[in-house]
A and B are shown apart, each in its own frame.
Chain A
Amino acid sequence: MSAPNSDYDPVEVTPLRADEVERMRDAALAAIAAADSVEALKQVKIDHVGDRSPLALANREIGALPPQARKEAGQRVGQARGAVNKALAERTAQVEAAEFDRRLAEEAVDVTVPVDMEPVGARHPLTTIQDHVADIFVAMGWEIAEGPEVEAEWLNFDALNLGPDHPARTMMDTFWVAPAEAAMVLRTHTSPVQARTMLTRKPPIYIACPGRVFRTDEPDATHAPVFHQVEGLAIDEGLSMAHLKGTLDHLATAIYGEGTTTRFRPSYFPFTEPSAEVDLLCYVCRNDPAQVADCPTCRGEGWVEWGGCGVVNPRVLIACGVDPERYSGFAFGMGLDRTITSRYDIADLRDLWDGDIRFTEPFGIGL
């Protein structure tokens, strides 16, 4: 640095000459513009903005100027430095942004790789359908009742008007608990739950009982010794077959969709009188004349068998402590396994019971 010298002609201090300051500024701006990385900008900063940069050195020379010249030189150098700093800041932001974008671009992944590292569970469709059916009843104001699976003979049969010599009893293919004197069975239907409810609650009663039941069928493509049912029971004043029909129509619609009606055929069950079998309008072809003939679900019938039902036999009411003079009721029952196999076109019933994970997994946590 030159010593302050008021005698100096400012023109004689080369770095402070206007053209020289302009040149230094332009050189700095050119270097900034040329820098294309944060690294390069760092060097540019050292070279053109740092303490040893020409403009910084020139700035220091201002003090050597005579006072009358300092202002102008100071302004000239200050403007140049300001322009350089501004350009540097702008260029730095630009380069940093570009580098950030480049880094993100480099971090791109292949989103199509398998991402299922965590185990995924699933619920068995027979569980889900029982829940679903229970919800339909609960929405109607009904409640869900339960009972034991190993059941007293009296509750599985006698209380339901199936006396010891009743031909229908032998038709049930019952598993008997040993020894026979124990008088216990694996329940052949969920009807003992209905009996238990009537035995312990006062009418009006509106209950549904989904659950597991047992028959001595060797497992094959269409049989299983264990299957699932839902039964319903309503006991109230003034109930009739018409209310039974209304309830079944509602249930059919809730499970199989709008327009799924039901029809009754006379039948026989000891615990109901009159008794009926209930058919469901085929939920595939809807008994449409154009489709019904080739329909695999109903085999051309237009209707599929759904379950059994009827007006509760007053003998059952008496055995269960309900006054048949005051109350009447209706009951119905249908299999749930077939609801699954027919709707999902499952040809072999054993698939429901083998436990192969590929059976349950597609159902996820809901139907």
Chain B
Amino acid sequence: MKVPVPWLRELVGLPDSVTTEELAARLTAFDLKLEEIAGGQLSGPLVVGRVLSAVPEPQKNGKTINWCRVDVGPEHNDPATGDVPAGRGIVCGAHNFGPGDLVVVSLPGTFLPSLGFEISARKTYGHVSDGMICSTAELGLPGGDQGGILVLEPGLAEPGDDAIALLGLNDETLDLEVNPDRGYAWSLRGVGRDAALAFGLAFRDPADIAVTDVEGEGYPVVVEDPQACPVFVTRRVTGIDPTRPTPEWMARRLVQAGMRSISLTVDISNYVMLELGQPNHAYDAAKLSGPITVRRARAGERLTTLDDVERELDPADLLICDDEGPVGLAGIMGAAHVEIDDTTTDVVIEAAYFDRSTVARAARRHKLSSEAARRFERGVDPALQARVAQRVAELLVEHGGGRIEPGLTVVGEVGARPAVTLPVDLPRRIAGVPSIDVDVSVAALRGNDCEVQVQGDQLVVTPPSWRFDLNDPYDVVEEVLRVVGYDQVPSVLPQAPGGRGLTRAQELRRRVGYALAGAGLVEVKTFPFAGEEDFDKLGLPADDERRRQVLLENPLSAQEPGLTTTLLTGLLRAAGLNVGRGHDDVALTEMGRVFRIRDDSPHAPIYGVDRRPTDDELAVLDAALPDQPLMAAWTMLGQREKRGWAGPGRDATWADAIAVATRLAEALHVDLAVEAVALAPFHPGRCAAFLLDGEVVGHAGELHPKVLEAYGLPARGVAGEVNLDALIGAAPDLGPRPVFSAYPVAKEDLAFVVDQSVRAGDLQDALAGSGPLVESVRLFDIYAGDQVPTGKKSLAFNVRLRAADHTLTDAEITEARAAAVETASRFGATLR
């Protein structure tokens, strides 16, 4: 809400000693938060001038400038010399003015905020230009330049008059942020009332207006939907002189408040809206046919609003109609065809009170906001309509020469707001301010125009008609605290009863985070949005489950219409960014949620709020939500160990990608089985699936060459992703007990020749289980070549044998070795 400060000062009767900054600070403390103080930076000498002569002088650059002599008043004029009259010589590039016109001249020394510098005399185009003739924009006045110089109305002022005061150029405006519960503050009346309360001044309500000539009909009105339109008032003014201009002070206030000056009638309507907060509308009476009807729209009805947009109406839209059809979208915007024009002499003034949500929904439906809609949505004073119509009518008479027609139509009435009853000590208890006693509360509430009664230990508070925010006891507490001051709240640290610390899952998630960093991975965060393009780049088949996204109604980009189903979309994109920025060796990780459809047409019910939903109702709600597991993903490109003086380094391989998963499993004490699978986006022969009790919980391996190409990543890049919710869910409460023996170890190396199809991991696991003395088995060599038959390979294992309670004998070692060989033979293995 833009509040012109002089207007507010006049309304409140604020002493001059109160600065604008103080005013703004007090309003901010009263929940009308200052966004900005605009204006006030301009400094003169900025004066009215009369153009005495303007000589066009064509220039070599093709432009024509005017060499002007301007009378800027005796105080500022240079004396006459020869046939040159007293005045100043000024060069001006604009052409929309001529001799005799009144203009605004910034003399040397003037500071114009729009230009950001001080005007000085300067040599230009062969003359000394001793000032500047100002355009609308240079003066900071809205409305655009429209071809140049601001030419004042003849007779408005004399040369030498101070243009700053004349045009209100230095008036300050408070831009206040009005919270949605304080609809009343969308008016000078509302802001003024709070300002008066803040400074302890008696407030003279500008809405204290006597309504005259009430006998008879103003203009006939039928309200078909009194729920949506509880109050509708009409009154007529005839004989307005359409040539009369808007008074300069009124136009200025409108402009300062962020509106345009359009015509006297429209300006008065807007001015009263700003003043009293009540949107109102003036119809050209000649263009209305028959009585006004307030009704809902019919299917297929259309309306062209004042902004020249033809709108298809919805049956829920509330309309103002005459015999020929809609003349306005109630509370939002009038129709173009009944608009006031420059021949309008007779008007019908409408002032109504519309249901807040009816207006809000229509405005949202038509994506059409207006000054009126904004106020109706937040609630206007329902007791004000007749007085507003009177105020508009009186201003039309005063400034437009019109006549108020006898008769006033008032349809409907809104009763007083219901009283709120609360314990007298509630404000003190909830605010936590010991000084708030019953007297403080009562005074604060009366200051807010509430009627207050103390009944025993209860306060009965009846809010004024315009306070839609006062419905509950706690709302009343806020009003008291606002007056007492939020800065009065003391600081008291509450004693929580003592919690259980982090949950096991929260702890384990942190552990995973550190394990990933410990694996040399750099954590990134990416936006979880993705689309077909991403899934194509990953090479996902058309029927892949991961293409079934949770889609958004209003995605930021059409390329990413929904949420991602795999962290790899964001992670590989980030990898590409790093490679593009010249990083050769990149190891990234991300932990985050992905989103998977559970139900093709989910619906999360919307319950009432007057009670807690039942457990069953809550279960329905949760069941509608998509699956959103926490995942961890990683990718490694280039070298895993850096090349340097110590050696050639080592490239990241599929094995490193798998190792990250096994490392996480170890960190969580979870047993992950590894199986070979062929799955996008991985190389079909270099991808591992991770299984937890038979369920696949993730994958890792080398990325498919085409995927690497699609993301612009170097060859042989690797990646992986696991479901952390699943891993963490499987983590035991305690890790394994350490078991080891202090007796000597016996190390046996066993090399077996097996078929190529035998999986080393299987054989290693089998050897590890081949006897009670086997402490560990580790594959240390794989060989296929001349030394073994075609189709075979050699697998060499280091087997460590140890007993828990004695030193092994040679016989025991021989026996254990034989058992291992025997176990291996089940894989068709022969000792090499």
Chain B residues 588 to 603 lying within 8 A of chain A, measured CB to CB, are 588-589, 591-593, 595, 601-603
Chain A residues 217 to 252 lying within 8 A of chain B, measured CB to CB, are: 218-219, 224-226, 234, 236, 238-247, 249-250
A89 close to B (CB within 8 Å): no
Contact of B489 among A113, A142, A241 (CB under 8 A): A241
Asked whether, in the complex, the Cβ of B378 is within 8 Å of the Cβ of A167, the reply is yes
Interface residues of A in 166-188 (CB under 8 A from B): 166-168, 170-171, 175-184, 186
User: Counting CB contacts under 8 A, is B642 at the interface?
Assistant: yes
Residues of B within 8 Å of A, CB-based: how many? Answer: 118
Give how many A residues have a beta carbon under 8 Å from the other chain's beta carbons: 105
B493→A152 contact, CB < 8 A: no
**Within the assembled complex, what's the spacing in Å between the Cα atoms of A149 and B550?**
12
**A154 at the binding interface (Cβ < 8 Å):** yes
Residues of B within 8 A of A151 (CB): 625
The residue in chain B whose Cβ has the minimal distance to the Cβ of A152 is B604
| Pairwise interchain contact B522-A360, C-beta atoms closer than 8 A | yes
Nearest-Cβ distance from residue B272 to partner chain A, whole angstroms: 23
Chain A residues, CB < 8 A from B806: none
Whether A176 and B612, one on each chain, are in contact in the complex, defined by CB atoms closer than 8 angstroms, is no
| A159–B609 CB distance below 8 A | yes
User: Which residues of A have CB within 8 Å of B612?
Assistant: 199, 318-321
Q: A152-B625, A245-B490, A357-B522 are in contact. Are A140 and B528 (CB under 8 A)?
A: no
**In chain A, what residue has the closest Cβ to B374?**
A167
B587 and A121 contacting across the interface, CB-CB below 8 Å: yes
Q: From A16-24, A66-74, A124-132, A286-294, give the one contacting chain B.
A: A124-132
B720 to chain A, nearest CB (A): 15
Beta-carbon contact of A266 and B430 below 8 Å:
no
Q: How far is the CA of A168 from the CA of B570 in the complex (A)?
A: 32
Instruction: Please provide the chain B residues from 529 to 578 with a CB less than 8 Å away from any CB of chain A in the complex.
Output: 529, 550-556, 562-563, 570-571, 573-575, 577-578
Residues of chain A contacted by B114 (CB below 8 angstroms): none
Q: Counting CB contacts under 8 A, is A31 at the interface?
A: no
Residues of B within 8 A of A144 (CB): 502-503, 506
Known: A246-B491, A263-B487. A206 touches B497 (CB 8 A): yes
Is residue B501 contacting chain A, with contact meaning CB distance below 8 A?
Answer: yes
How far does the Cβ of B680 sit from chain A's closest Cβ, in whole Å? 22
Nearest CB of B to A208, in Å:
10
> Any chain A CB within 8 A of the CB of B667?
no
B496 near A318 with CB under 8 A, answer no
Chain A CB within 8 A of B212 CB = no
Extra contacts besides A122-B523, A153-B604, A240-B431 (13): CB < 8 Å: A119-B640, A119-B642, A122-B522, A154-B606, A155-B621, A167-B180, A175-B553, A216-B556, A241-B431, A265-B28, A276-B486, A353-B525, A355-B570
Task: Write out the residue numbers on chain B whose beta carbons fall within 8 Å of the beta carbon of A182.
Answer: 601-604, 624
With a cutoff of 8 Å between Cβ atoms, the chain A residues found around residue B489 in the complex are 241-242, 244-245, 264
A356 within 8 A of B: yes
Contact assessment for B364 and A150 in the assembled complex, using a CB-CB cutoff below 8 Å: no
Most interface-central of B491, B526, B550, B611 (chain A CB within 10 A):
B491
Contact indicator B604/A318 (Cβ below 8 Å): no
Partner of B513, one of A123, A249, A265: A123
Which B residues from 250 to 295 make CB contacts under 8 A with A? none
Q: How far is the CB of B342 from chain A (nearest CB, A)?
A: 37
| Residues of chain A with a CB closer than 8 A to B350's CB | none
Q: Which stretch from B89-97, B160-168, B476-484 is at the chain A interface?
A: B476-484
- Chain A residue nearest to B519 (CB atoms) is A121
Comparing B140-148, B324-332, B447-455, B643-651, the segment that makes contact with chain A is B643-651
- In the complex formed, the residue of A with least CB distance to B525 is A124
- Chain A residues with Cβ below 8 Å from B179 are 267-268
Q: Are the CB atoms of A170 and B578 closer together than 8 Å?
A: no
Contact A124–B477 (Cβ < 8 Å): no
User: Once bound together, how far apart are the Cα atoms of A103 and B720, in whole Å?
Assistant: 48
Give chain B residues whose Cβ lies under 8 Å from the Cβ of A265.
Answer: 28-29, 33, 486
- B481: contacting residue among A124, A199, A241, CB under 8 A: A241
List A contacts of B206 (CB < 8 A).
none
B577 touches A356 (CB 8 A): yes
- Name which of B356, B472, B625 has the most chain A CB atoms within 10 A of its CB: B625
Residues of A within 8 A of B503 (CB): 143-144
B108: chain A residues within 8 A (beta carbon): none
Give every chain A residue within 8 A of B550 (Cβ-Cβ). Answer: 150, 177
B649 touches A319 (CB 8 A): no
CB of B524 within 8 A of CB of A124, answer yes
Q: Are B527 and A134 in contact (CB under 8 A)?
A: no
Which A residues touch B603, using CB under 8 A? 181-183
B587, A245: Cβ atoms closer than 8 Å: no
A273 — which chain B residues lie within 8 A by C-beta?
Answer: 472, 474-475, 477-478
Binds B, one of A34-42, A78-86, A90-98, A308-316: A308-316
**Are B563 and A118 in contact, with the CB atoms below 8 A?**
no
A153 touches B606 (CB 8 A): yes
Interface of A is mostly: mixed
Known contacts: A355-B574, A355-B588. The answer to whether A122 contacts B606 by CB under 8 A is: no
Q: B605 near A: Cβ within 8 Å?
A: yes
B753 interface residue (CB < 8 Å to A): no
Judge if B157 is at the interface, Cβ distance under 8 Å. Answer: no
Measured between alpha carbons, how far is A240 from B641 in the docked complex, in Å?
57
**What are the interface flags for A180-213 relative to B under an 8 Å C-beta threshold, 1 for contact and 0 otherwise?**
1111101000000000000100001010000010
Using CB atoms, name the residue of chain B closest to A204: B497
Is B302 an interface residue when CB atoms closer than 8 A count as contact? no
Q: From residue B569, how far is it (CB to closest CB) to chain A in Å?
A: 12
What is the 8 Å Cβ interface bit string for chain B, positions 491-513, against chain A (1 contact, 0 not)?
A: 11111111111110010001001
Q: How far is the CA of A91 from the CA of B627 in the complex (A)?
A: 81
Q: Which 3 A-B pairs have the closest CB atoms?
A: A355-B574, A119-B520, A242-B432
Does B521 sit within 8 A of A, measured CB to CB?
yes
CB of B517 closer than 8 Å to a CB of A: yes
Q: Which of B360, B529, B611 contacts A319 (CB 8 A)?
A: B611
Indicate whether A120 reaches chain B with its CB closer than 8 angstroms.
yes
B610 within 8 A of A: yes
The reply on A161 being an interface residue by CB < 8 A is yes
Q: Does B583 contact A (CB under 8 A)?
A: yes
Q: Find chain A residues with CB under 8 A from B605 CB.
A: 152, 154, 183
A138 touches B502 (CB 8 A): yes
Contact between chains at A243 and B493 (CB < 8 Å): yes
Per the bound structure, the CA–CA distance linking A154 and B495 in Å amounts to 32
Any chain B CB within 8 A of the CB of A104?
no
Asked whether, in the complex, the Cβ of B604 is within 8 Å of the Cβ of A183, the reply is: yes
Q: In the bound complex, do residue B492 and residue A245 qualify as a contact, i.e. CB atoms below 8 Å apart?
A: yes
Partner of B491, one of A234, A245, A357: A245
Min CB distance, A142 to chain B, in Å?
6
CB pair B517–A123 under 8 Å, yes or no, is yes
Given A183-B603, A360-B524, also A315-B472 (CB < 8 A): yes
A293: min CB distance to chain B, Å: 15
A165 at the interface (CB under 8 A from B): yes
B119 at the interface (CB under 8 A from A): no
Q: How far is the CA of A113 from the CA of B644 in the complex (A)?
A: 9
Q: How far is the CA of A126 from the CA of B377 in the complex (A)?
A: 38
- Pick from B430, B490, B604, B642: contact of A184, CB under 8 Å: B604
With an 8 A cutoff between CB atoms, is A47 at the interface? no
The answer, among A122, A240, A318, for a CB contact under 8 Å with B609, is: A318
